[in-house]
Amino acid sequence: MKIATWNVNSIKARLPNVLEWLKEADPDVALLQEIKCLAADFPALEFQSLGYQVHAVGQKSYNGVALLSKQPASDVIERLPGEESDEQARYVEASVEGVRIASIYLPNGNPVDSEKYPYKLGWMKRLKAHAASLLTSEQPVVLAGDYNVIPEARDCYDPVAWAGDALFLPETRRHFREIVNLGYTDAFRAINPQRVAYSFWDYQAGRWPRDEGIRIDHLLLSPQAADRLRDAGIDKKVRGREKASDHTPVWCVLDS
């Protein structure tokens, strides 16, 4: 089973790119973030024509996630448990062929001195609690998406420049490690223990041509999923296409 995640930065703006990539990469499950539209406005027919079932959780102009699967998805939940008053569209989870899979758009948290950073940390605490509860099922679990977290200095082209950013603050990284330390495996790092690679390059200041990026899109695997991990990578070339998202797809392959 090939599972891929991609922050598309507006599905309407990137639809031709997304469809082209799906045809090339042929993931069994594709998890999208920042679709930036209501679920009713998500272009489901285009994805259904490629053989995907669609579960989108939308929000007008902001956020939004989707789960596309070639096989039926069951037991779908459309929000991260723990705070029923949170209306931001950042989470969808379902079971596909016995694997519990989530598409995650974790809050950015900037500016740090605003209410956005406490919201980010609170969201991460809720994700940790839910990630822990999922482990009790002892089923394969894949928590994938745009985490807006740079785990280590090597995951950033200039750690000094990012030192005060919400994506790289020590408290942010600590919360991320706490989730991983529950028993999850970073799929990309497990397959590529020494490789320096990025999944996001800012549109500004020529970051893409100079390969000045950060790795913030992750697939975290439960022990049962990690045992089945065969391969993982980043489809870097997609970032270089016309009208590209500032993120590029990240993926893993699990043995059946």
Distance CA 232, CA 11 (A): 24
Q: Specify the 3-state DSSP secondary structure of 195.
A: coil
Q: What is the 3-state secondary structure (H, E, C) of 151-173?
A: CCHHHECCCCCCCCCCCCCHHHH
Evaluated on CA atoms 121, 216, 174, 166, the torsion sign reads negative
Residues of the chain with pLDDT under 50: none
Q: What is residue 159's predicted lDDT score, i.e. its pLDDT?
A: 98
Q: What is residue 235's predicted lDDT score, i.e. its pLDDT?
A: 98
Q: What is residue 198's predicted lDDT score, i.e. its pLDDT?
A: 98
Q: What is residue 19's predicted lDDT score, i.e. its pLDDT?
A: 98
Distance CA 52, CA 85 (A): 31
Q: What is residue 256's predicted lDDT score, i.e. its pLDDT?
A: 85
6 and 247 Cβ atoms separated by less than 8 Å: yes
Q: What is residue 249's predicted lDDT score, i.e. its pLDDT?
A: 99
Q: What is residue 106's predicted lDDT score, i.e. its pLDDT?
A: 98
Other residues' Cβ atoms within 10 Å of the Cβ of residue 41:
15
For residue 243, what is the DSSP state?
A: T
